[in-house]
């Protein structure tokens, strides 16, 4: 019996070529990447090669990529470290962010940080005029703007370049949860003037439990997890080498096949919309399904 998996926004199946790359490392690479003997150096070399691969695909420097356990940790790291190390007094976000952002921001609000939630229009887009108004209203305030690139439930897309330009204009830090778009859309993190982004391998056919945070070299923070000198003193703990290899391989494949996949999946999405309209009069598509929306997500209301 054939089954169709409809939960790809939550997680994607592991790509066989990714599993093969990970298994090869599991079988043959046994050293701790922090060890100075040959086995350790071999493991370290593989990690740094993976880092360079990811950085090149994201348009950034290898020194700006740090491995994490996934998007949630990366989001927490960005918000909590910025507030702590740059004396942020105000966070601007939206009410439809992932809980990794909302719950973290609410926790920081309990600690005295001002929290502003931007209005959402009828199509589920963030009110950019309101964002500029808020940034303009208190330019002296140390502000962090955190807005996701693509909403994980609606699929709505944020204009990263516009948001980055606004934040730059008013001196605010800009973080974006790009978990839904890394591996699915071409990204140039430098061009978008981002300070932080988050990514998770299992959203683009990689392994679960591994991701990365991009931290612009212009934005300095102290470690989020202490305990060792790993990740250039930014995240203590022995690196998940198998996950890191899988992450890099999955992202490499996703970027190589992105154009063909995007056309194929968009065709499926358009076909599904047409068939649902024909079969269920009155069906409604939440968000901006046929406009500024990620091709991998469709939110349907019966």
**In this predicted model, what pLDDT tens digit does every residue of 22-33 receive, in sequence order?**
999 999 999 999
The per-residue pLDDT for range 156-196, each reduced to its tens digit, is 999 999 999 999 999 999 999 999 999 999 999 989 999 99
Extract the tokens encoding 61: 């420097």
Q: Return the H-helix or E-strand segment holding 145.
A: strand 143-146
Sign of torsion over alpha carbons 37, 42, 43, 44:
positive
Distance CA 104, CA 25 (A): 35
**Cβ-based neighbour number of residue 110 at 10 Å:** 8
Structure confidence at residue 1 as a pLDDT band (50, 70, 90)? confident
Give 156's strand partners. Answer: 293
**Cβ-based neighbour number of residue 31 at 10 Å:** 17
Distance CA 13, CA 203 (A): 9
The residue count for the chain? 302
**Cβ-based neighbour number of residue 124 at 10 Å:** 20
In this model, does residue 131 exceed pLDDT 90?
A: yes
pTM: 0.94
100: left (phi over 0), alpha (psi -120 to 50) or beta: alpha
Work out the mean pLDDT of the chain and round it to a whole number.
95
Q: What is the pLDDT of residue 2?
A: 84
Q: What's the average model confidence in pLDDT over 141-156?
A: 96
Residue 146 has φ and ψ, to the nearest 5°, of -125, 110
Distance CA 268, CA 266 (A): 5
Q: What is the pLDDT of residue 139?
A: 74
Q: What is the pLDDT of residue 141?
A: 78
The per-residue pLDDT for range 56-113, each reduced to its tens digit, is 999 999 999 999 999 999 999 999 999 999 999 999 999 999 999 999 999 999 999 9
């Amino acid at each position: 019996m054939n089954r169709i998996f409809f939960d790809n926004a939550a997680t994607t199946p592991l790509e066989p070529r990714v599993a093969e790359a990970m298994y090869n490392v599991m079988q043959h690479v046994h050293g701790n990447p922090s060890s100075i003997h040959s086995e350790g150096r071999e493991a370290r070399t593989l990690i740094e090669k993976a880092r360079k691969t990811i950085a090149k695909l994201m348009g950034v420097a290898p020194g700006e990529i740090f491995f994490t356990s996934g998007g949630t940790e990366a989001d927490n790291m960005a918000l909590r470290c910025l507030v702590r190390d740059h004396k942020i007094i105000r966070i601007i976000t939206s009410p439809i962010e992932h809980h990794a952002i909302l719950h973290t921001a609410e926790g920081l609000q309990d600690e005295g940080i001002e929290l502003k939630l931007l209005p959402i229009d009828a199509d589920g887009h963030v009110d950019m005029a309101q964002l500029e108004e808020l940034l303009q209203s208190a330019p002296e305030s140390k502000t962090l703007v955190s807005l996701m690139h693509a909403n994980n439930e609606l699929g709505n897309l944020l204009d990263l370049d516009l948001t980055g330009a606004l934040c730059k204009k008013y001196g605010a830090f800009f973080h974006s949860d790009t978990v839904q778009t890394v591996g699915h859309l071409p990204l140039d993190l430098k061009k978008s003037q981002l300070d932080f982004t988050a990514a998770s391998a299992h959203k683009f056919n990689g392994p679960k439990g591994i991701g990365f945070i991009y931290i612009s070299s212009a934005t300095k923070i102290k470690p989020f997890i202490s305990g060792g000198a790993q990740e250039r003193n930014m995240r203590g703990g022995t690196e998940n080498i198998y996950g890191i290899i899988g992450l890099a391989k999955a992202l490499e494949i996703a970027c190589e096949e992105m154009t063909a996949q995007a056309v194929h999946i968009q065709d499926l999405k358009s076909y599904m919309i047409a068939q649902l309209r024909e079969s269920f009069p009155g069906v409604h598509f939440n968000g901006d399904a046929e406009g500024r929306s990620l091709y991998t997500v469709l939110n349907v209301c019966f």
